[in-house]
Amino acid sequence: MLRRIFDHILEGDAPAATECVQRALADGMDPATILNQAMIAAMDETGRRFEAGEIYVPEMLVAGRAMQSALGALKPFLVQADLEPLGKVVIGTVQGDLHDIGKNLVALMLQGAGFEVIDLGTDVAPARFVQAVREHEPMLVAMSALLTTTMTNMSTTVVALRAAGLRDRVHVMVGGAPVTRQYADQVGADMYEPDAASAARAARAAAKRRPSV
């Protein structure tokens, strides 16, 4: 079943991928295994094939759509309804970047961990992050980037938060494939997390302490 989910996502067959995920869950398969071993593995293989020139942007796009659709089937298993609210998180993919699968996964896990998530979507300009912090007063700003050319906008956003006098009121977490802990330190973020599950754990821990700048 994992192999079939992997193949359907790679082929961009959203209905088949979603149906297989539903069947795997109904058979009692662990959601994290489905996510990591089939779904994220299929995205990695898509990226490998794209880099090797074996597929092009349209194929990558349909694989991404199949992934999003299959993630929908996983959602009820990743979000627990009975957790106490822990505060608000403003999340978005940084300016210039349209990748949202990882960001959506992080948003889902944060929701599952008990946060109210304000999702600003993709291609989020620093000024929009600033505006959302003013409006919603979150405890955490979470930024995702998938491109080496856009990750620099994490720094621009931190600078904008600082200029608006808001940086010391929020924790800042960054993540996404090209981002590292060292890069997070460099851009003035408080936290770097490599995946959605660890992002949710770190956010829960951060909710218990004041932001440090």
Contact residues toward ligand B1M (CB under 6 A) are: 40, 43-44, 46-47, 50-51, 57, 60-61, 63-64, 96-103, 105-106, 142-144, 146-148, 173-178, 193, 195-196, 199
- Taking the C-alpha atoms of residue 24 and residue 22, their distance in angstroms, rounded to an integer, is 6
Least distance from C-beta 4 to ligand B1M, angstroms? 19
Q: Is the Cβ–Cβ distance between 176 and 145 less than 8 Å?
A: yes
Taking phi first (over 0 means left), then psi (-120 to 50 degrees means alpha), and beta for anything else, what does residue 106 get? alpha
Least distance from C-beta 24 to ligand B1M, angstroms? 18
**Pick 19 or 123: Cβ nearer ligand B1M:** 123
**Pick 114 or 175: Cβ nearer ligand B1M:** 175
Least distance from C-beta 124 to ligand B1M, angstroms? 12
**Pick 40 or 130: Cβ nearer ligand B1M:** 40
Least distance from C-beta 155 to ligand B1M, angstroms? 14
Q: Is the Cβ–Cβ distance between 40 and 34 less than 8 Å?
A: no
DSSP class of residue 97? -
Burial class (CB in 10 A: 0-12, 13-18, 19+), 165: exposed
DSSP class of residue 124? B
Least distance from C-beta 135 to ligand B1M, angstroms? 19
- Taking the C-alpha atoms of residue 122 and residue 213, their distance in angstroms, rounded to an integer, is 26
**Pick 82 or 174: Cβ nearer ligand B1M:** 174
**Pick 64 or 126: Cβ nearer ligand B1M:** 64
Q: Is the Cβ–Cβ distance between 201 and 175 less than 8 Å?
A: no
